[in-house]
Amino acid sequence: MKRIYLFCDNGMSTSMMAQRMQEVADKHNLPFECKAFSYKKISSIIEENKLDCILIGPQTKFLYDDINRRYGDKTPVMVIDAADYGMMDAEKVLKKAIVAMKKFKNN
């Protein structure tokens, strides 16, 4: 099971995106776990779980450099595209996360 976790200020706005991403993954029988959390819990979440991709909500993109510096050597870190997020295009966000994981694995 691959873990794709989304982080934003309180984990509230990304919860809907994570839920929709999980629905897309389930529909296509993809072995993914998509969940959302507050970025304030990222350290404890990562200590407890091996993440395969970290997605940052566009409203907290200012956190990218710090999160990538801390965890980017272990897992891909990316900011969710604001247009995809605004449209709640979970399938597109999931596809981009999968591409990021494949690229990371090949490096």
pLDDT band at 53 (very low <50, low <70, confident <90, very high): very high
Known catalytic membership, residue 8:
yes
Q: What does the pLDDT average to over 91-101?
A: 98
Q: Is 14 in a helix, a strand, or coil?
A: helix
- DSSP-derived secondary structure for 67-102: HHHHHTTTS-EEEPPHHHHHTT-HHHHHHHHHHHHH
The encoded tokens of residue 40 equal 């304030």
Q: What pTM does this model have? A: 0.95
Give the per-residue SS3 of 20-66.
Answer: HHHHHHHHCCCCEEEEEEEHHHHHHHHHHCCCCEEEECHHHHHHHHH
Q: How many residues can be counted in the chain?
A: 107
Indicate whether 75 pLDDT > 90.
yes
Catalytic residue among 6, 8, 56, 79: 8
Can you give the residue ranges of every domain in the chain? 2-106
Q: Residue 107 pLDDT > 80, yes or no?
A: no
CATH architecture of structural domain 2-106: 3-Layer(aba) Sandwich (3.40)
